[in-house]
Amino acid sequence: MYELNAKKSDEELVTLSQNGDKQATEILMLRHAGLVRGCARGFFLIGGETEDLIQEGMIGLYNAIGEYRQGERNSNFKNFAYLCVSRRIIDAVKASARKKNSPLNTATSIVAEAEVLTGGLNPEDMLILQDDRREFRQKMSGVLSDFEFKVTTMYMDGMSCAEICEATGKSGKSVDNALQRSKRKLQEVLR
């Protein structure tokens, strides 16, 4: 039965899904997971990760399955799903950037702060941590461009994207793109 459903078109699967076929829903979610990942890759979520955006996109995809009406506006399901996914992701990015969420986006753990203030790390651990950080920065400098290195270092030091923009004189998009490129390059190096 699963193989029979997997051979059906998106529109046929949507009809089955809207009539309660959970298998059809699962097939559509799996079939369009790449669309969601591709859409999420183009955005940056303040205080979050790409996985958070993918989760939001999957919610958008699930909603698209329930809301799609065949024949309306001559749109096929994939186009409709892309629209729903991208809108959901954009809404999540906008929500994270709003000032009302800034206390949550910049929150730190009281326990972590207390450990730092009370000397939660002994001197030996602090020295090892400094050596690890120095070694990581050396790896970064060998892989990243000067601008990517500068932006990534500032970001690792706790500066916000807005502060990095102000310090470098670059646009938010330019800083965000540099951070995304750095992330991809560093993931390859650390594997």
Instruction: Provide the whole-model pTM.
Output: 0.51
Contact between 16 and 56 under an 8 Å Cβ cutoff? The reply is: no
Task: Report the Cα–Cα distance between both ends of the chain, in Å, rounded.
Answer: 39
Q: Residue-wise over 42-75: b if at least 16 C-beta within 10 A, else e?
A: ebbbbebeeeebbbbbbbbbbebbeebeeeeeee
The pLDDT of 115-135, averaged and rounded, is: 67
**Helix or strand holding residue 132 (H, E):** helix 123-143
pLDDT, one tens digit per residue, over 129-174 is 777 778 877 888 888 899 998 988 888 878 888 889 999 999 989 9
The residue ranking higher by pLDDT, 98 or 93, is 93
Mean pLDDT of the chain: 80
Among the ranges given (55-64, 84-93, 115-124), the one the predictor scored with the smallest mean pLDDT = 115-124
Q: What are phi and psi of 46, to 5 degrees?
A: -65, 125
pLDDT, one tens digit per residue, over 32-45 is 999 898 888 877 77
pLDDT, one tens digit per residue, over 48-78 is 778 888 999 999 999 999 998 877 665 788 8
What is residue 85's three-state secondary structure? Answer: helix
